[in-house]
Amino acid sequence: MSGTVRIHWAIAPAIAPRPLVNCNRCGGVKAYRCSEKFRVNANGKRIDAWLIYRCVVCENSWNFGIFERCNRRDIDPALLQALESNDPGLVRRHAFNVSALRNQVGRVEEFPDVAVQRHLVGETSESATALELRLGLEMPISLRLDRLLANELGISRSRLQTLEERRLLAVRPDGAKALRRAAHEGTIVLVDLAGEPDREAIISAAGG
């Protein structure tokens, strides 16, 4: 493909997953949202730490365990400070840890919403006829690749399928089946737009 525009998409989930917890105040299973606050409890040399969640209906609390009965000397002082100050980066890291949440409660409500930051790689020109997208994920997401591309490029999923069938769209390293799977780190999407009347609009949307 000559005249290729290369763009890196830095993708991050936008809404934290919500554990489904039996709320003893509401009397049933409810979604709980992250409060973005930790609770740290010291009992002598032992430290417990939790990320606090609140019922979306009644605000009842549920504690997502980070560590329990851990010896203070085994905890990095910087980590302890981050917990005690409710460091946003540390909150986000734990709040989006779907596997850990599932291990504690079993059922988790996930959201497909993502934020995409676009970075042009190299130079571009008005005569460009092809697009190369490189995906970088802050953490795993549940959004399918075809939905991600359709949302961000402003075209339909059926159009993406047609482009793939005409061999104008390729996904590396996983091939066409990747369109129906969750987008993941390191995926490269190549699109030949030479014969497409709206190629400029698609390239513009890709670059934001």
Residue 44 has a pLDDT of 82
Q: In whole angstroms, give the CA distance from residue 102 to residue 161.
A: 33
How does DSSP classify residue 29? E
Residue 1 has a pLDDT of 43
Q: Is the pLDDT of residue 43 over 90?
A: no
CB atoms near residue 99 (< 10 Å): 8
Q: In whole angstroms, give the CA distance from residue 49 to residue 47.
A: 7
CB 188 within 8 A of CB 171: yes
Please state whether the predicted TM-score (pTM) of the whole model is above 0.85.
no
Q: In whole angstroms, give the CA distance from residue 62 to residue 31.
A: 11
The string of DSSP codes covering 160-193 is HHHHHHTT-EEEETT-GGGGGSB--TT-EEEEE-
**What is the band of 177 on the pLDDT scale with cuts at 50, 70, 90?**
confident
- Please give the structure tokens belonging to residue 118: 């676009």
CB atoms near residue 195 (< 10 Å): 9
How does DSSP classify residue 3? S
- Mean pLDDT (the chain) is 92
Residue 175 has a pLDDT of 79
Residue 180 has a pLDDT of 92
Residue 123 has a pLDDT of 73
Torsion of CA 62, 67, 73, 79, to 10 degrees: -70
- Identity of residue 100: A
Q: Which residues is 137 bridged to in the sheet?
A: 11
Q: Residues with Cβ < 8 Å from 184, sequence gap 6 or more?
A: 135, 137, 140
